[in-house]
A and B are shown apart, each in its own frame.
Chain A
Amino acid sequence: MNNSKETAEVTTPVNSSRRDFLSKAAVAGTVTIAPGIFLHRTAGAAVADTDVSEIEASEAADMNTSVSTRPLDQDVSNKNRWGMLIDTTRCATGCTDCVDACNEENGLVGHGRPETDTQYIRKVTLKSKSTGHELSLPLMCQHCETAPCADVCPTGASFVRADGIALVDKHICIGCRYCMMACPYKARSFVHEAVENQKLTAPRGKGTVEACTMCVTRVDNGGIPACVEACTAENHNAMIFGDLRDPNSPLSIELKKHGGKQLRSDLALNTGVRYQGLNE
């Protein structure tokens, strides 16, 4: 336990099991990521050649062009599976642009109690025990295909939509918090306080559990999640959103070219959120 504490410095107050998991994730990352890719990315970011970085930036902006074209009067289907790819080598330590955008988008309010205040995304810093290498990444609901939260939910409130977005139906959630216990990523929060001034597109209230919805209203309307939008707008370009089932989506192309790691892939949850650059 002490060892894992040294390995993973998590930037928000969490319990030790969360630290434990993250250290495992960091170690597992090195097994499958080829070292060349990391070097390629670091070089791209470090070289002060404006031409190169400009090209890379515009490429990354184009990368988020895979969006929903489903007519809104038709059901979601498994023709799509929405996902995200996060390049940790581009994610700056200390940057919270995605988290801020998320809080704004979903009208999340703090009560000065970081342990229980709702977080859909949090920034996590991992530090390798052996090399001292540090990396920073945003962690949110991983939108598991075989989601433990949905498995344990006694009411059917936790479910995974046909297009891969994991949601809580707050109309039938009884607030038992089984799903919070089951989620290996500690992605969910419980609303402890009465809420007012909710956003139209983000209904939320006391006594229910909630998590990242991959900005489902935006996605349904052909948009991209607020975090991805903010990260791209601020020119960090660390996040790509897209359709994992479409082999021609920029997300799938990038995954095919450079690969992407699932956090805790040993759990075989087939997550919709993938990471690059989890080097030790």
Chain B
Amino acid sequence: MTRFLRPLLVLIGFMLLSTSTLAETPFPTIHEPSDESKKCIHPEDEMRRNHMNYILHERDETMHEGIRGEPEGLANCINCHVEPNESGEIAGIETKEHFCSACHEYAAVQIDCFQCHADRPQKYIDRSKHSSSLRDQLQRTLAAAEAATEGARP
């Protein structure tokens, strides 16, 4: 009897284990554009498998040949798929709610695009802290140089 019971117990144990793992990493919820009339430029399964190839191709063409405005660019993905949530905030790339990081976290594939690229549409980029610090710094340096030149005059 025990000869049969032991493997059965092991099997039950495995099943319990695997269900609990599934419960901890649920399949990612992917943000669909709130405007339902918007359709993705390619079928979903095609995009899931091959989005990186589209983006890469577009990247080199834009960078080196100046070809712009083709639909497969990263900015276009972002423009449809990144929108404010119910509380009016954009979930950044560092959160799991972001369209890109939702799947990339699930699949444990590191994503480097957003070290340089904006993770949200232009209109949601907080520009308030840009350039004013540089402007002040420049004015100070100019003033200091001006003072130094004045002093150096015979």
Binding site for B on A (CB under 8 A): 6, 9-13, 70, 72-76, 93-94, 96, 99-100, 103-104, 107-112, 114, 117, 123, 125, 127, 132, 134, 159, 161-163, 167, 169-171, 194-195, 197-201, 203-206, 208, 216-217, 220-221
Q: A11-B141, A74-B67, A125-B145 are known contacts. Are A206 and B115 too (CB-CB below 8 A)? A: yes
Q: Complex: how many Å from CA A198 to CA B130?
A: 9
In the complex, the chain A residue whose C-beta lies closest to that of B134 is A110
Residues of A close to B145: CB separation below 8 A: 9-12, 125
**A6 vs B151: C-alpha distance in the bound complex, in angstroms?**
12
Query: Once the chains bind, are A96 and B142 in contact (CB under 8 Å)?
Result: yes
Q: Do the beta carbons of A104 and B131 come within 8 Å of each other?
A: yes
Q: What are 8 of the A-B contact pairs (CB < 8 Å)? A: A11-B146, A75-B67, A76-B66, A117-B137, A169-B63, A197-B126, A198-B116, A220-B68
Given the complex of chains A and B, what is the CA–CA distance between A134 and B67 in angstroms? 43
Residues of B contacting A99 in the complex (Cβ-Cβ under 8 angstroms): 135, 138
Q: Which 6 residue pairs of A and B lie closest in terms of their CB atoms, listed nearest first?
A: A205-B116, A110-B134, A103-B131, A76-B66, A205-B115, A11-B145
Q: Contacts of B86 on A, CB cut-off 8 Å?
A: none
**Are A11 and B66 touching (Cβ within 8 A)?**
no
Q: How far is the CA of A159 from the CA of B143 in the complex (A)?
A: 36
Contact between chains at A107 and B70 (CB < 8 Å): no
Chain B 70-126 residues near chain A, CB threshold 8 A: 70, 75, 115-118, 121-122, 125-126
Instruction: Give the docked Cα–Cα distance between A213 and B95 (Å).
Output: 32
Asked if A108 contacts B141 (CB within 8 A), the reply is no
Closest beta carbon of chain B to A76's beta carbon, Å? 4
B interface residues, tally (CB under 8 Å): 37
Question: B65 near A75 (CB under 8 angstroms)?
Answer: yes
Smallest CB separation, A161 vs chain B (Å): 7
Residues of A contacting B63 in the complex (Cβ-Cβ under 8 angstroms): 167, 169, 171
With a CB–CB cut-off of 8 A, which chain A residues contact B10?
Answer: none
Do B66 and A107 touch across chains, with their CB atoms under 8 A apart?
Answer: no
Asked whether, in the complex, the Cβ of A117 is within 8 Å of the Cβ of B134, the reply is: yes
State the CA gap A197–B120 with chains docked (Å): 9
With A72-B67, A125-B149, A200-B122 in contact, is A96–B116 under 8 Å at CB? no
- Which of A70, A108, A208 is the one whose CB lies under 8 Å from B66? A70
Residues of B within 8 A of A73 (CB): 67, 69-70
> A-B contact count, CB below 8 Å?
122
Supposing A9-B145, A96-B142, A169-B63 touch, asked if A107 and B116 sit within 8 A by C-beta, the answer is: no
Are the CB atoms of B135 and A169 closer together than 8 Å?
Answer: no
| Complex Cα spacing A96 to B140, Å | 12
Selected from B68, B116, B122, the residue in CB contact (under 8 A) with A204 is B116
Query: Chain B contacts of A198 at CB under 8 A?
Result: 116-118, 125
| Contact between chains at A11 and B64 (CB < 8 Å) | no
CB distance from A68 to the nearest CB of B (A): 9
Q: Is the CB of B133 within 8 A of A127?
A: no
Does the CB pair B131–A163 fall under 8 Å?
no
- What is the minimal beta-carbon distance from A187 to any residue of chain B, in angstroms? 17
Q: Which chain A positions have C-beta within 8 A of B50?
A: none
List chain B residues, Cβ under 8 A from A11: 141-142, 145-146
Indicate which residue in B69, B116, B133, B136 contacts A170 across the interface (CB closer than 8 Å): B116
| Chain B residues whose CB sits within 8 angstroms of the CB of A197 once the complex forms | 118, 125-127, 129-130
Inter-chain CA distance A159–B66, complex, in Å, is: 13
Partner of B148, one of A9, A169, A195: A9
Contacts A96-B135, A108-B130 given; indicate if A195 touches B66 (C-beta within 8 A): no
Select B152's contact among A6, A162, A204, A208, beta carbons within 8 Å: A6
The docked-state distance in angstroms from the alpha carbon of A207 to that of B70 is 28
With contacts A73-B70, A94-B142, A171-B63 taken as known, whether A112 is within 8 angstroms of B137 at the C-beta atoms is yes
Interface: B59 (CB within 8 A): yes
Does A203 lie within 8 Å of B116, measured CB to CB?
A: yes
Q: How far is the CA of A238 from the CA of B153 in the complex (A)?
A: 27
Q: Does any Cβ of A come within 8 Å of B139's Cβ?
A: yes
| 20 more CB-based (< 8 A) A-B contacts, given A100-B138, A110-B137, A159-B64 | A9-B149, A11-B142, A13-B141, A75-B67, A94-B142, A100-B135, A103-B134, A104-B130, A107-B127, A107-B130, A109-B133, A110-B133, A114-B137, A117-B134, A125-B145, A167-B63, A197-B130, A198-B118, A198-B125, A203-B118
